[in-house]
Amino acid sequence: MAATAVAHPNIALVKYWGKAPEGDNVPAVGSLSITLGGLTTRTRVRFDPGLAGDRFRLDGVEDGAAARRVSRCLDRVRDRLGVRIHAEVSSRNDFPTAAGLASSASGFAALVTAAEAALGGGLDPAERADLARRCSGSAARSIFGGFVELRPTPGGPRPTETRQILAPDEWPLEVVIAVTASGPKATGSTEGMRLTERTSPYHAEWVRLSPAHLDEARRAVLGRDFEALAAIAEHSCLAMHAVMLSARPGLIYWNGATVACLHRVRELRGRGVPVFFTVDAGPQVKAVCLPEAVPAVREALGAVPGVEALLHSGLGGGAEVVE
Ligand code: DP6
């Protein structure tokens, strides 16, 4: 009753921000992401009838707050498979946790995949994605590799549908991540979403426009149209941050170096370098580019004052059981 799974973080090009009113962590908007192959979460789950409760260690350290969320996620897998046994979970990230690098996405994708395998569940990836979505919305997308779309499907067989729209090698984009602050973020995504839903005057408009954003991005991806993808991805990112900023109190996830990086990416693209930016609920800037642009992008972002480190990744595959 033990299994180990790996999963990779993903970066949304059309952003998920906001939850549907029916609850159960169904997203209010569809999203489209790329799964990164170069950053990995590895999680081992061992179910043991002798345990009085679940146990969780992240990078070797017991973490109480995270443990409760892990336990709630395990409950969903246990309920789905009709099992009542507690588990010991240990997880490792080979990249900084909780700094806007989507560690919850790879974390919950790996957790659901390992737990389900340990219990011999036999669920298909779409079902695993819907379970992972209930633990953390973005985690559904890390079940698949390459370019992945997650949509709410009211009235469908499941409340959401997650699917791969292009495999990683069908359009091998690269991502350079400029780390501008390495501590944990101020307001987590779940809390930040609740605040903006309640208080932002722009939230309803963001939700209304989202199907059009998703259609535009899907067309750009299927047509391998980099310029078109750059335009819609930067728009979705900036529109999400506009909603965050318009909450009360406003959520400001950026620092000075974040903004300087955005300008640097725009300058590069103005000079014909194929690159665009996206930023999640944190200060790191993700520069998405064609492979030939990587050296120029690294050099430009590495020279921005306040950039502490650069990470670099190509696209990768979905969550999988390795042991
Ligand atoms: C800004 O998936 O972390 O990264 O469902 O509450 O766990 P919960 O939220 P989460 O939100 C991700 C928000 C984002 C955009 C995105 O990844 O689409």
Residues 131 and 82 in one domain: yes
Q: Are 215 and 229 in contact (CB under 8 A)?
A: no
Query: Does residue 25's CB lie within 6 angstroms of at least one atom of ligand 1?
Result: yes
The answer to whether residue 319 is domain-embedded is no
Atom index in ligand 1 nearest the CA of residue 190 equals: 6
Å from CA of 90 to ligand 1 middle: 22
Q: Would you call 136 exposed, middle or buried from its count of C-beta atoms within 10 A (0-12, 13-18, 19+)? A: buried
Residues 139 and 193 in one domain: no
Query: Does residue 104's CB lie within 6 angstroms of at least one atom of ligand 1?
Result: yes
Atom index in ligand 1 nearest the CA of residue 280 equals: 1
The answer to whether residue 59 is domain-embedded is yes
Å from CA of 212 to ligand 1 middle: 20
Confidence (pLDDT) at 65: 83
d(Cα 182, Cα 267) in Å, to the nearest integer?
A: 25
Residues 149 and 212 in one domain: no
Residues 14 and 157 in one domain: yes
Residues 154 and 194 in one domain: no
Confidence (pLDDT) at 121: 87
φ/ψ (deg, to 5) at 139: -65, -30
The answer to whether residue 200 is domain-embedded is yes
The answer to whether residue 246 is domain-embedded is yes
The answer to whether residue 323 is domain-embedded is no
Atom index in ligand 1 nearest the CA of residue 136 equals: 7
Residue 298 belongs to domain spanning: 174-314
Cβ atoms within 10 Å, residue 114: 30
Last residue of a domain, one of 168, 200, 223: 168
Residue of minimum CA distance from atom 12 in ligand 1: 138
Confidence (pLDDT) at 98: 46
Residues 146 and 207 in one domain: no
Render pLDDT for 27-73 as a digit per residue (tens, 0 to 9). 999 999 999 999 999 999 999 999 999 999 999 999 888 899 999 99
Query: Does residue 210's CB lie within 6 angstroms of at least one atom of ligand 1?
Result: no
Residues 211 and 93 in one domain: no
Residue of minimum CA distance from atom 1 in ligand 1: 280
Last residue of a domain, one of 168, 197, 229: 168
Last residue of a domain, one of 126, 142, 168: 168
Confidence (pLDDT) at 182: 75
The answer to whether residue 257 is domain-embedded is yes
Residues 215 and 148 in one domain: no
Q: Are 289 and 275 in contact (CB under 8 A)?
A: yes
The answer to whether residue 320 is domain-embedded is no
State which residues of the chain have pLDDT below 50. Answer: 98
Pair of tokens at residue 18: 């906001």
Å from CA of 164 to ligand 1 middle: 18
**The pTM of the whole model exceeds 0.95:** yes
Atom index in ligand 1 nearest the CA of residue 139 equals: 2
Residues 161 and 178 in one domain: no
Å from CA of 233 to ligand 1 middle: 16
Å from CA of 280 to ligand 1 middle: 8
Render pLDDT for 141-159 as a digit per residue (tens, 0 to 9). 999 999 999 999 999 999 9
The answer to whether residue 322 is domain-embedded is no
d(Cα 77, Cα 289) in Å, to the nearest integer?
A: 37
| Number of domains forming the structure of the chain | 2
d(Cα 264, Cα 232) in Å, to the nearest integer?
A: 18
Residues 55 and 178 in one domain: no
Å from CA of 231 to ligand 1 middle: 21
Residues 131 and 263 in one domain: no
Residues 132 and 196 in one domain: no
* CATH code: domain of residue 214: 3.30.70.890
* CATH code: domain of residue 56: 3.30.230.10
